[in-house]
């Protein structure tokens, strides 16, 4: 039977169909975007793909803040240092899905290898996107339901895009503009810098510079510590360092769970006779916490930043002690630890990385010196500020950025006196933080301090002979302008900007001071800092060094026990590590803020400047002055006197010249005329 339809009815049906389609399109086009936090979105739209099975996602308490941080536009960077079995990779997947769905933008994800990127798309992303109807309708599919894009790229109907790339090739970090950038397993080998290449985290971060609200998320199980090249550990140390605190179910004391040891209170404990009997000991009152208490304890926990002053990067640390994974029970962890101890170092490293989420050091660091040696090197000059035996006074200045916008930047400056044999004495160490480096007053304060007159133990006035300032990092043009302006003033021949360079892989240059200056100016020199550090290490370990105990116009007061302890730790915080093939490399601490190695760096710059004084025109007098025996005095007819000597020449003397010219031998014993201060 054939049904006849008039043209009028047909046109009406077409119009109704068009109206319906138009309403659907306009409703979607003008609908208010969903306003959801990361955890809210994961709870409503999140799924898990398990062997082809689709399961509903459930957010655990410790994951909630991390998911919200991934989505928060006010947090530019997030770094998560984690153990395995914590679900953080899935949290990252939910954030990628959220941005595709309700916050469309250009998304880039980096995985260690290209094969990893392809596997992620095929096994994880594509099944997930087809399992969520709201995301599936955004896909570009052929009539047969197949995708149309490349293997590692996806485009969506709402304008969102996703690229998943391997990190091995630096080319994958170029020519992309991305708003959300994710780096998964940052400590994997694929993220290691190529020979002569740059830091791949920084290269990825630059892909988002065109967006004010771009986001970079890095997650990884750690491998090595920051000082040995560990990338996620370095990022975590330079973050606000959030740890998860849980309350003791018995006494209520809050603590962050750690593995601990047998000697100290707190941590994981077990019965040696029966390792299946496992409990966690409260570090405050020794309460016995059973494994069945873990769930309630973790649900009442909270994230606490250890460095809340850091605003530019969120950092989270998680380990399996607080994991809800079925195979992450405390009994299973203890069994795995005991097996690792029986097997050897490789398994212990795997346990610390994968289970505890901690970096593992495979190299034994060489301590620069013993702390007690430096405690005994503190010297009291009485009312004087400089030892009379000093042949030169030299400033070393280190610059610290302090934050992303330089608003919290500051300078640290140290004045060092050098005598025969280049014998060093620290006159004082200053922290100039009243004004940031972007403020002219910061540099005016440095000039005022650097040109100050000091009094030696013979009562003579002394002025500094030179200054070396750190040129590395940002604001280099500001440094250039300041040094250029300072050098126009007579008597500032030895004021230089120093660009510290390490040869890498344990290599050293031929000399500390180069033959020529940088092409950018006669006042800028690239210097081998590792050679200078090697020499300084010998001075520190042998006790051939002294520090003024008294504070001078706001300098660090080493007669204060707490200040002395902090200063010594900072001075010794940089260490030498062996490298394959022989040699050593110097590695400084990361993420310590104002407890870093700046005093050591200031000493390095000052020491390097003494080599400049020897090697530049007129250096013969300085070579004689720094000679160990000092038996060849300079001829005033041939060479100019130093600023410190010219200042002292016409000053009245309180002691005989004979007493001031008797140079003590290089020894760790107290110097004549100086009073040692023992450890407090």
pLDDT above 90 for 669:
no
Most confident residue range from 506-510, 533-537, 626-630: 533-537
Q: How many C-beta atoms lie closer than 10 Å to residue 59's C-beta? A: 20
Measured in whole angstroms, the distance separating CA 273 from the mean position of its chain's CA atoms is 43
Which among 175, 183, 231, 238 has a CA at the least distance from the CA of 207?
Answer: 175
Rounded percentage of the chain residues whose pLDDT exceeds 70: 85
pLDDT at 264: 86
Q: Do 121 and 164 contact (CB within 8 A), yes or no?
A: yes
pLDDT tens-digit profile of 72-84? Answer: 999 999 999 999 9
Task: Report, as an integer, the average pLDDT of 236-252.
Answer: 96
pLDDT above 60 for 606:
yes
Instruction: Give the mean pLDDT of the chain.
Output: 85
Residue 434 phi/psi, 5-degree rounding, is: -70, -35
Task: Report, as an integer, the average pLDDT of 181-186.
Answer: 96
Which among 94, 124, 116 has a CA at the least distance from the CA of 107?
Answer: 94
466-470, strands of its sheet edge to edge: 524-528, 494-501, 466-470, 392-400, 410-418, 424-432, 546-548, 378-380, 675-676
pLDDT tens-digit profile of 557-588? Answer: 999 999 999 999 999 888 887 776 667 888 88
pLDDT at 98: 95
Higher pLDDT, 191 or 150: 191
- The C-alpha atoms of residue 14 and residue 666 are separated, in whole angstroms, by 102
Report, at the CATH architecture level, how domain 38-238 is classified.
3-Layer(aba) Sandwich (3.40)
Which among 389, 323, 382 has a CA at the least distance from the CA of 552?
Answer: 382
4 secondary structure, DSSP code: P
Task: Report, as an integer, the average pLDDT of 27-32.
Answer: 62
Under the banding of pLDDT at 50, 70 and 90, the label for residue 365 is: low
What's the number of CA atoms in the CB half-sphere (13 Å) around residue 68? 10
Cα–Cα–Cα angle for 460, 463, 466, rounded to 5 degrees: 145
Task: Report, as an integer, the average pLDDT of 483-495.
Answer: 93
pLDDT at 488: 92
> Taking the complete model, does pTM exceed 0.75, yes or no?
no
Under the banding of pLDDT at 50, 70 and 90, the label for residue 184 is: very high
Element (H, E) at 659: helix 657-661
User: 371-626: which CATH number, 3.10.150.10, 2.40.50.500, 3.20.20.20, 3.30.420.240?
Assistant: 3.30.420.240
Q: Do 215 and 77 contact (CB within 8 A), yes or no?
A: yes
Where is average pLDDT lowest: 160-169, 366-375, 515-524?
Answer: 515-524
pLDDT tens-digit profile of 122-149? Answer: 989 999 999 999 999 888 865 555 555 6
- Residues in the chain, overall count: 680
Q: What is the chain's alpha carbon radius of gyration, rounded to the nearest angstrom?
A: 32
Measured in whole angstroms, the distance separating CA 310 from the mean position of its chain's CA atoms is 12
pLDDT above 60 for 339:
yes
Q: Do 437 and 643 contact (CB within 8 A), yes or no?
A: no
Equal fold, 38-238 vs 371-626: no
Task: Report, as an integer, the average pLDDT of 490-511.
Answer: 86
pLDDT tens-digit profile of 265-320? Answer: 999 999 989 999 999 999 999 999 999 999 999 999 999 999 999 999 999 999 99
pLDDT at 659: 36
Task: Report, as an integer, the average pLDDT of 465-474.
Answer: 92
Q: Do 352 and 651 contact (CB within 8 A), yes or no?
A: no
Where is average pLDDT lowest: 100-109, 190-199, 236-245, 410-419?
Answer: 190-199
pLDDT at 287: 96
Query: CA torsion sign, 599 to 605 to 607 to 610?
Result: negative
List the domain boundaries for the chain: 38-238, 247-308+324-349, 371-626
pLDDT at 679: 37
Crossing angle for the helix pair 38-45 and 88-102, nearest 10 degrees?
Answer: 90
Under the banding of pLDDT at 50, 70 and 90, the label for residue 117 is: very high
């Amino acid at each position: 039977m054939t049904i006849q339809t008039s043209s009028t009815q047909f046109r009406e049906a077409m119009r109704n169909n068009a109206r319906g389609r138009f309403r659907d399109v306009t409703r979607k086009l003008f609908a208010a975007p969903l306003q959801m936090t990361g955890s809210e979105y994961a709870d409503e739209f999140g799924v898990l793909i398990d062997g082809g099975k689709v399961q509903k996602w459930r957010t655990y308490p410790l994951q909630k803040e991390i998911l919200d941080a991934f989505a928060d536009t006010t947090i530019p960077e997030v770094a998560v240092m984690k153990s395995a079995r914590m679900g953080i990779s899935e949290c990252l997947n939910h954030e990628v899905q959220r941005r595709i769905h309700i916050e469309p933008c250009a998304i880039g994800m980096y995985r260690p290898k290209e094969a990893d990127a392809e596997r992620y798309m095929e096994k994880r992303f594509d099944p997930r996107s087809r399992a969520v109807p709201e995301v599936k309708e955004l896909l570009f599919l052929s009539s047969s339901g197949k995708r149309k894009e490349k293997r590692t790229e996806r485009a969506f109907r709402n304008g969102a895009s996703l690229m998943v790339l391997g990190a091995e090739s630096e080319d994958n970090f170029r020519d992309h503009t991305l708003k959300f950038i994710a780096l998964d397993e940052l400590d994997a080998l694929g993220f290691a810098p190529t020979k002569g290449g740059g830091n791949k985290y920084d290269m990825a971060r630059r892909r988002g510079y065109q967006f004010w609200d771009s986001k970079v998320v890095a997650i990884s199980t750690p491998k090595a510590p920051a000082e040995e090249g560990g990338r996620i550990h370095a990022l975590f140390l330079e973050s606000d360092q959030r740890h998860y605190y849980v309350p003791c179910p018995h006494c209520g004391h809050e603590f962050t769970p750690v593995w601990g040891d047998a000697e100290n209170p707190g941590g994981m404990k077990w019965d040696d006779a029966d390792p299946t009997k496992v409990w966690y000991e409260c570090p405050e009152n020794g309460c016995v916490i059973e494994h069945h208490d873990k769930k309630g304890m973790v649900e009442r926990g909270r994230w606490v930043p250890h460095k809340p002053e850091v605003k530019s990067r969120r950092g989270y640390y998680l380990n399996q002690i607080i994991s809800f994974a079925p195979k992450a029970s405390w009994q299973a962890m203890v069994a795995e630890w005991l097996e690792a101890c029986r097997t050897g170092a490789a398994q212990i490293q795997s346990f610390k990385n994968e289970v505890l989420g901690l970096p593992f050091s495979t190299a034994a660091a060489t301590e620069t010196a013993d702390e007690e040696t430096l405690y005994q090197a503190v010297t009291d000059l009485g009312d004087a500020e400089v030892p009379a035996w000093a042949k030169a006074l030299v400033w070393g200045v280190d610059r610290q950025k302090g934050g992303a916008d330089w608003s919290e930047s500051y300078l640290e400056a140290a004045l060092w006196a050098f005598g025969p044999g280049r014998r060093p004495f620290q006159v004082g160490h200053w922290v100039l933080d009243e004004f940031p480096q972007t403020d002219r007053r910061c540099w005016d304060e440095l000039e005022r301090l650097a040109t100050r007159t000091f009094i030696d133990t013979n009562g003579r006035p002394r002025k500094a002979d030179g200054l070396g300032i750190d040129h590395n990092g940002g604001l280099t043009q500001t440094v250039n302008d300041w040094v250029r302006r300072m050098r126009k003033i007579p008597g500032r021949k030895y004021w230089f900007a120093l660009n510290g360079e390490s040869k890498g892989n344990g290599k050293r240059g031929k000399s500390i001071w180069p033959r020529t200056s940088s092409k950018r100016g006669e006042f800028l020199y690239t210097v081998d800092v590792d050679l200078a550090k090697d020499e300084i290490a010998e001075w520190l370990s042998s006790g051939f060094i002294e520090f003024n105990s008294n504070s001078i116009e706001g300098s660090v007061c080493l007669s204060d026990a707490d200040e002395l302890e902090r200063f010594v730790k900072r001075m010794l915080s940089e260490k030498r590590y062996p490298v394959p093939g022989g040699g050593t490399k110097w590695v400084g601490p990361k993420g310590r803020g104002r407890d870093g190695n700046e005093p050591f760096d200031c000493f390095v710059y000052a020491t390097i400047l003494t080599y400049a004084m020897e090697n530049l025109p007129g250096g013969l007098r300085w070579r004689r002055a720094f000679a160990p025996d000092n038996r060849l005095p300079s001829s005033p007819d041939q060479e100019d006197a130093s600023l410190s000597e010219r200042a002292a020449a016409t000053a009245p003397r309180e002691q005989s010249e004979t007493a001031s010219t008797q140079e003590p031998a290089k020894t760790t014993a107290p110097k004549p005329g100086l009073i040692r201060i023992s450890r407090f």
